[in-house]
């Protein structure tokens, strides 16, 4: 796709300084800009590159004033970073604006869908599936029986949505994600052998939830596993059965949340965090990478370590952890001195 500087300025409500007919068809970092590329300048430390970049068009803040000659066409906006992000979103919408039903694909007779739907080749819609408007189902995606999908949802190639799942409006399911597989439920019998506990619940994703590639979200044993409005899940995250994640919480890659744990709103989890089951995690929690949580957490805490402790206390304690051999040596010398004086 190709856009002119004037067209881009129209989308961003910006002002063109330079050639309004300058054309761009790709994106680039400002230091790697080439002819035909669009870039942006938001961080002042990259300012020197604007005088050497070969990019055809550069988005800048309105208060930017060149100190010497530049060759790139400028588009001045209120916030260059936000405007570039807006443009990326617009570009994705245009790029992914697929419609129609490709063959071969399978749609059960009882499955229904709204307008402007895209079903890619080898996609599968089971019995009683309901798709809203502007839903994109990419090739090789699977949607099981009795699943409901809202409007403006994108399900990328290879995603698997098991039966009875409920997906709200504006959700994104990335490739390889598995929504609604059985939870890890087993009980030992009289011989000590583990027998499977049927998982009869479902998964509910509220509006504007995003699920990363190869993430797994298990169906509930009874009731629902719920990811509430605006939750963002990174790649390769495991969410177990009956977990409830509060709105606008974000969870980074390789984190694992054990069954029946309730996580509050506006939390931030770093990568490889482990959370034990049947816990209550408060609102506005910040958890550093590789932290292990095995206890209830109150609102507003910052955690680090395994088992997790207050972040500030961890940082202070770590100074002593590093100096532990030296401290032990000093204690041994002090003990020896005391013993010699007795």
CATH number assigned to the domain comprising residue 115 = 2.160.10.10
- Whether residues 127 and 175 share a domain: the answer is yes
- Whether residues 107 and 37 share a domain: the answer is no
Which of 67, 95, 123 terminates a domain? The answer is: 95
Instruction: Supply the residues annotated as catalytic.
Output: 241
- Whether residues 171 and 284 share a domain: the answer is yes
Instruction: Give Cβ neighbours of residue 55 (< 8 Å, ≥ 6 apart).
Output: 24, 28, 30, 33, 34, 35, 37, 38, 39, 72
- Whether residues 191 and 305 share a domain: the answer is yes
Which of 64, 95, 126 terminates a domain? The answer is: 95
What domain range includes position 249?
100-314
- Whether residues 307 and 229 share a domain: the answer is yes
- Whether residues 293 and 208 share a domain: the answer is yes
CATH number assigned to the domain comprising residue 73 = 3.40.1390.10
- Whether residues 177 and 277 share a domain: the answer is yes
- Whether residues 207 and 310 share a domain: the answer is yes
Hey, what are 88's tokens? 């990326």
For 17-32, the pLDDT digits (tens) are 999 999 999 999 999 9
Hey, what are 323's tokens? 């100096």
Global pTM reads 0.81
> Closest by alpha carbon to 288, among 266, 315, 263?
315
Query: Contact at 8 Å (CB) between 39 and 80?
Result: no
Which of 95, 112, 146 terminates a domain? The answer is: 95
User: pLDDT means per 10 residues in the chain (342 residues)?
Assistant: 91 94 93 95 94 96 93 95 88 80 96 96 98 97 98 97 98 98 93 94 98 98 97 98 98 97 98 97 96 95 86 79 81 83 67
CA distance 156 to 147: 16
The pLDDT score that the predictor gives to residue 206 is: 98
For 170-190, the pLDDT digits (tens) are 999 999 999 999 999 999 999
- Whether residues 308 and 229 share a domain: the answer is yes
Distances (CA, A) of 186 to 144, 183, 189, 218, 275: 24, 9, 10, 14, 19
The pLDDT score that the predictor gives to residue 8 is: 93
- Whether residues 108 and 220 share a domain: the answer is yes
Beta bridge partners of 297: 281
- Whether residues 91 and 63 share a domain: the answer is yes
> Closest by alpha carbon to 160, among 224, 92, 219, 104?
219
The count of structural domains within the chain is: 3
The pLDDT score that the predictor gives to residue 342 is: 62
- Whether residues 303 and 324 share a domain: the answer is no
């Amino acid at each position: 796709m190709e856009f002119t500087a004037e067209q881009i300025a129209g989308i961003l409500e910006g002002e063109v300084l330079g050639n309004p007919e300058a054309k761009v068809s790709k994106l680039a970092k400002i230091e790697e800009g080439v002819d035909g590329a669009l870039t942006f300048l938001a961080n002042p430390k990259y300012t020197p590159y604007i005088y050497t970049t070969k990019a055809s068009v550069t988005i800048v803040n309105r208060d930017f004033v060149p100190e010497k000659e530049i060759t790139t066409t400028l588009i001045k906006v209120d916030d260059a970073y936000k405007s570039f992000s807006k443009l990326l979103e617009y570009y994705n919408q245009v790029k992914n604006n697929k419609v129609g039903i490709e063959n071969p694909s399978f749609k059960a007779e009882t499955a229904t869908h709204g307008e402007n739907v895209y079903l890619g080749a080898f996609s599968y819609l089971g019995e009683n599936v309901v798709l809203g408007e502007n839903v994109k189902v990419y090739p090789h995606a699977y949607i099981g029986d009795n699943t409901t999908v809202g409007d403006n949802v994108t399900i990328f190639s290879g995603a698997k949505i098991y039966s009875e799942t409920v997906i709200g409006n504006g959700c994104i399911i990335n490739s390889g994600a598995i929504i609604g597989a059985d939870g890890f439920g087993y009980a030992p019998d009289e011989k000590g052998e583990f027998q499977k506990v049927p998982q009869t619940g479902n998964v509910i994703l509220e509006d504007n939830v995003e699920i990363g590639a190869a993430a797994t979200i298990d169906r509930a044993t009874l009731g629902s596993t719920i990811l509430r409005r605006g939750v963002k899940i990174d790649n390769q995250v495991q969410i177990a059965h009956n977990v409830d994640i509060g709105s606008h919480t974000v969870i980074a890659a390789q984190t694992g949340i054990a069954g029946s744990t309730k996580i509050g709103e506006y939390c931030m989890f770093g990568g490889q965090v482990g959370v034990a089951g049947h816990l209550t995690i408060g609102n506005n929690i910040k958890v550093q990478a590789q932290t292990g949580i095995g206890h209830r957490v109150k609102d507003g805490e910052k955690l680090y370590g395994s088992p997790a402790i207050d972040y500030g206390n961890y940082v202070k304690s770590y100074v002593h952890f590093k100096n532990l051999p030296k401290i032990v040596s000093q204690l041994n010398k002090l003990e020896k001195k005391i013993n010699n004086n007795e």
